[in-house]
Structure 1
Amino acid sequence: MALQEKYAELIQAAKTGGVSNLQVREQENVLYIDGSVASGALKDSLWDIYNKIDPDYRAGDLILNIDASAAAGTKAKVTTTSSNLNIRKGPGTDQPIVGKAAHNEVITVVSRANDQWSLVRTDQGEEGYAYSQYLTQI
């Protein structure tokens, strides 16, 4: 059975669920499913489908690489190397800085503006856009 047939339900759920930048490829008898989600619940539902197909995760023929690092409505930790994370007026480095979040601070992800930027709110109420690469869902 081809891997894309075996995991057809999972692939379809990723497509209809709204996984952005969805990429499905087979390489050396392993199926890779990559993308980003705006909801941790969607990622969990994909894992639930995978668990139905391969209950003990023994087949070793699937890599499910779905990024929910800054899913909307979740808490995220600022994971910069050591510095503060700039919070900007809009999604882009050309936008003015309206606040900062400290390294390791926990903030709220309000929504995803695009694949690179998230609208965030600090516990102090500062709201603006932060680079999603430096946010890790907790």
Structure 2
Amino acid sequence: MPLTAKYAALIDLLNSLKVDQLEIHEENDILHISGVTSSVDAKHKAWDLYNRIDPNYISDDLALELTVQTDEVLKVATVTAHDEPFIAVRRGPGVNQPVLAELKDGDRIDILGLTNQNWCLVKVADKTEGYCYIDYLSV
């Protein structure tokens, strides 16, 4: 079964959300989907559906790279990682997602949104956007 069939509902959702610059291609048994959403909520909907199709993102057959076109910041947070060498900012809200950036204790980040799974959509100083586990942040 082609991966576009497996993730057809996700592709349909992204089209219905009118994701800009939507690109979909399959390479080396991985479906790559990228684009720009108009809201944090739209990005969360996509990740929630992805998690329903592939619980905990364990198949490792989809690279979902969505960014949010917004300057809205809910809060500025400080990383509290006293006992950890770093805290990961991940592509998606799950520990199986690739690490995009590493934050150290005391780093400041912008919180763009919250998921219902204890993850925050954050933007770091270099404009990298990803997800960070909420327990390591203080506002």
Please classify the TM superposition score into its range, dividing by the shorter chain length.
0.5 to 0.7
Show structure 1 runs of 5+ residues with no match: 78-103, 109-132
What residue in structure 1 maps to residue 21 of structure 2? 21
2:70 aligned partner: 71
Distance between the aligned counterparts of 1:49 and 1:35, measured in 2?
16
Give the 3-state SS of the residue equivalent to 1:56 in structure 2. helix
Figure out how many residues of one structure are paired with residues of the other and give that number: 86
Give distance in 2, aligned partners of 1:66 and 1:76.
21
* Structure 1 residues 65-110: Cα deviation after superposition (integer angstroms, max 9, x where no partner): 0012x42644487xxxxxxxxxxxxxxxxxxxxxxxxxx797x9xx
Q: Which residue of 2 aligns with 1:96?
A: none
What CA RMSD, in Å, does the superposition of the two structures yield over aligned residues? 2.8
- Partner of residue 7, structure 2: 7
Letter of the aligned partner of 2:19 in structure 1? V
Gaps of 5+ in 2: 77-107, 113-125, 132-139
1:45 alignment counterpart: 45
8 Å contact from structure 1 (residues 38, 72) kept in 2: no
**TM-score, normalisation: structure 2:** 0.53
The list of structure 1 runs, each at least 4 consecutive aligned residues, that deviate by more than 4 angstroms after superposition, is 133-138
CA distance 1:29–1:40, change in 2 (3 Å): same
Match of residue 93 from structure 1: none
Against the structure 1 CA distance between its residues 41 and 2, is the aligned structure 2 distance closer, same or farther, given a 3 Å change threshold? same
**Bigger Rg, which one:** 1
Give runs of aligned pairs for residues 85-96 of structure 1, distance below 5 A.
none
Identity %, equivalent residues: 30
